[in-house]
Amino acid sequence: MGEEQHLYRNKAGVMKTYRIPDLIAKKRDGKGLTHGEIQHFVEGVVNGHVQESQLGAMLMAIFLQGMGLDEATHLTRAMVTSGDVLTWPKEWKGLMVDKHSTGGVGDKVSLPLAPALAACGLKVPMISGRGLGHTGGTLDKLESIPGFQVSCSTQKMKDILADVGCCIVGQTSMLVPADRIMYATRDVTGTVESIPLISASIVSKKAAENLDSLVLDVKVGKAAGMKTEEMAQKLAKSMVSICNDLGIKTVALLTKMDNPIGKTVGNSLEVIECLECLHGNGPSDLMELIYKLGGQLLHSVGKATSPQEGYRHIEDTILNGSAMQKFCAMLKAQGVEESVANKLCTREIDLYSIFTPAKNVMEIRCQKEGYVQAIDGLELALVCKELGAGRTKAGESINHAVGLELKVQVGDAVKTGDVWIKVHHDEAVLSDNHVNQLQKALEVESRPIEAQALSRVIDVIG
């Protein structure tokens, strides 16, 4: 047997021989790969039999030729089984849920949503990531809370889920190792923007959580990965189909990602805004996403007769304080000192007595009168990243204190000289370039915006 030729036992128990170059050539020529071929290739990626150049070639072949839905499902399943799959107590069957967002600016929905779902009796084993590029990471936001631990063993996750009902943790090295290897290669071979590869990457990590139901928030717009509604629709339909094939009841919401979500961008500032949400004082666009995403999950698992009823159940947990109680319990379970957690979850506390503030705050004012038509989320995110809130490559340290605090949102009436944004920064002086970049991000015109146009939800798929 040659160096690149290996035996593989297919579903019928028959031993088959595969050569990696033959599989690459087959996909290069636009032919579909079988379950056995995909399984063999993914196993080779993890055990080192597939060379880095061969992985890059296969990823480019998939990028150029695409994959059928069956192929994408086979790829996802093979990636899931490349590592550990979480298991849960039998009595939790039907209660295991999660939410995934494709990434946006000011996207802090997970922090209030997870405890709200737990307050409704669901189990939420939320495995999240760090920020890279212009999008912020849920783990980075949570690590701005003194003492919060994102690393948890599987047993620790089970203990927290039993006691609290939700946890938000980082991915372990044994969960979907194939994705970690493949994503690193996609990042350097120009093959990131492939619907089947994106779908397999996202869904494999969620399937490894052994979920009963999942809601997807697929962002579309200039500050999203998917720039057009057509591409977002394709991605959403692909992921929903794969999830359903894997036995995970899934719904996707297409949501607008041109303007930042809520009124803050930056790690500790976004946590502070989430605490306001849990007290019932969050911005309307952020609360809409929390309620609608949560409502879909409650309906999916039979805890509500409709998404609208589920919406009201999630809203109730915010208004009656039970979601805040779950959030406080999650903080304590994940390493935050009891006194700190209690302070964070108390109304009218000086949160900067807990969070380290930025050294300087600069106000930027409106240059004309009218109605806010748009706030370019991408431009805001790029400034925020340059100030230290984000990272260019994995592993870089970030500044949790810096960020942007919006004093207006789309649709608001403004006057010349009104403060529209505060910049929390550690620079000696904020550069003219950054100020100009922020001013260009604000679009003000004389015409008002219809209320209906302010909803972030474009479509529901699934």
Q: What would the DSSP string read from start to end of 409-441? A: -TT-EE-TT-EEEEEEE-SSS--HHHHHHHHHH
Paired tokens of 21: 């170059």
Residue 353 neighbours by CB distance under 10 Å: 9
CA 345 to chain centre: 24
Q: Which amino acid is at 48?
A: G
Paired tokens of 424: 């929390």
425 catalytic per annotation: no
Paired tokens of 239: 């992921």
347 catalytic per annotation: no
**Nearest in space to 404 (alpha carbons), one of 277, 288, 262:** 262
Among candidate residues 77, 130, 134, 186, the one labeled active-site is 186
What is the sign, positive or negative, of the torsion defined by CA atoms of 62, 64, 65, 70? positive
Among candidate residues 99, 108, 141, 205, the one labeled active-site is 205
Among candidate residues 100, 123, 141, 249, the one labeled active-site is 100
Paired tokens of 216: 């997807």
**Nearest in space to 289 (alpha carbons), one of 325, 331, 260, 265:** 260
Paired tokens of 159: 């203990």
Paired tokens of 142: 């949570």
Say how far apart CA 149 and CA 334 lie, in whole Å.
5
CA 278 to chain centre: 19
Local structure of residue 32 (DSSP, 8 states): P
Letter string b/e over residues 65-92, b meaning 16 or more CB atoms within 10 A of that residue's CB:
ebbeeebbbbbbbbbbbbbeebebeeeb
Among candidate residues 199, 201, 213, 241, the one labeled active-site is 201
Judged by DSSP in three states, 233 sits in helix
Among candidate residues 98, 107, 140, 179, the one labeled active-site is 179
205 catalytic per annotation: yes
Q: Write out the catalytic residue numbers.
A: 100, 179, 186, 201, 205
